[in-house]
Copies of this chain bind each other. A is one copy, B any other.
């Protein structure tokens, strides 16, 4: 399956109607939805988008999307990949990503770390026109935009001064594991000559701060890593825009025009303006719907620090949608986003009877801040799903009890095993709940499809996500 697939069911009708595809695609009722996808904790963004595109390209009434109403009610006429709308954004290479998943010996696609996009055209019959000719069908252009979670977590910086932001970061460094990981950087700050900035020292300080963020990300899977570009620098690598770090408040006298403080403050402000605000203006403000993917199982298995970091990250994300009184974002330009979906991914890594608990747990985490905030027309929802299901649930007797196991091929191995991953708490775990070895989650190899050409990839609740995100636009 490449992105050159023509509309399968529509193709024949078109031929008989002697009309070109182009004409069909430019009817007056066409509209566009920009769907942004981002993630925390290497949550499987690439696989999610690849699976979503795959399902849409193969959707028909019997294709296993019962909760995606447009498909199940037989109003879905077909879809195909189109030219992407933005010339300066990388292409989301669906063709490259689907290939390893549908091989005889499937493997996961390589993850990406940059902004990319793909456009699909979806042909459907509006509900009001169900009995009329297909020539009344509409087209929905779906732009899916993939971007690093760090960028979304940078947005709240827009509302902070350098002093406020620094204080927040130092606050977060009071607790483990940031406390230990940040020691080297904080020690350097204490011995630094602050009155007169020196390029080599600025580089050393920001280098150690970057190293601290990288360790938070790679060793502990933490999410709240500001400034986001420090861990994903792209072409800004080595520029002064990424050569600063938080500084303690050392009083007026060490803030002269050539001081370390004033130069770093300048760069912090330049970062806000040229990186964060630019992302906001060029991309975020144009999104219609946002999905945030979270590997909640990883957060649980990594322990209370990681779990708490993820909660703070989610709260921080929700703040972007919060219609506050002093919000900079709301003063600038109100984002168009009207649906916000938080998804716990890889739900197939636990047994089916635990899925509901995982969703409830995510709900507990998101709903508290969501209810506290005043939202203006943003519908917030949580869901637990699996983009590509690699296991099945098997019930077995064990020591006289019936237990639900998952069965699948663990990552790097060749044979299926039976695993008891543990039970998911349905509410927020208390301190004493974090026993060692309570959870036993594992990564799996992708499922081996019996006929990769014919079958669609197995999933859990991807159709419900599609219905939430696109249902109204396809009705």
Q: Which residues of A contact B (CB under 8 A)?
A: 2-4, 22, 81, 83-84, 86-91, 93, 95, 114, 116, 197-200, 203, 234-241, 243, 257-258, 263, 266-267, 270, 274
Q: Most chain-B Cβ atoms within 10 A of its Cβ — which of A95, A203, A238, A274?
A: A238
Q: Most chain-B Cβ atoms within 10 A of its Cβ — which of A4, A83, A198, A243?
A: A83
- How many copies of the chain does the oligomer comprise? 2
Residue of B nearest to A271 (CB): B87
B199 touches A81 (CB 8 A): yes
User: What is the bound-complex CA distance between A409 and B114, given in angstroms?
Assistant: 45
A83 touches B4 (CB 8 A): no
Which of B3, B116, B237, B263 is close to A90, meaning CB atoms less than 8 Å apart?
B237
B4 touches A200 (CB 8 A): yes
Known contacts A238-B116, A240-B84, A257-B22; decide if A198 and B4 are in contact (CB<8 Å).
yes
A-B contact pairs, 16 of them (CB 8 A): A22-B257, A83-B199, A83-B240, A87-B239, A87-B241, A87-B267, A88-B236, A88-B240, A88-B241, A89-B239, A90-B237, A91-B199, A91-B203, A91-B240, A91-B243, A95-B200
B91 touches A263 (CB 8 A): no
A87 touches B199 (CB 8 A): no
User: What is the bound-complex CA distance between A83 and B4, given in angstroms?
Assistant: 51
Query: Which chain B residues lie closer than 8 Å to A87 at the CB level?
Result: 239-241, 266-267, 270, 274
- Nearest 9 CB-CB pairings of A with B: A90-B238, A235-B235, A87-B240, A87-B270, A234-B235, A87-B241, A90-B239, A88-B241, A4-B200
In angstroms, how far is the closest chain B Cβ from the Cβ of A354? 39
Query: Which chain B residues lie closer than 8 Å to A89 at the CB level?
Result: 239-240
Not counting A83-B197, A83-B263, a sample of 19 additional A-B residue pairs whose C-beta atoms are within 8 angstroms of each other reads A2-B200, A3-B199, A4-B198, A4-B199, A22-B258, A81-B199, A84-B240, A86-B240, A87-B239, A87-B266, A88-B240, A88-B270, A89-B240, A90-B239, A91-B199, A91-B239, A91-B243, A95-B200, A116-B238
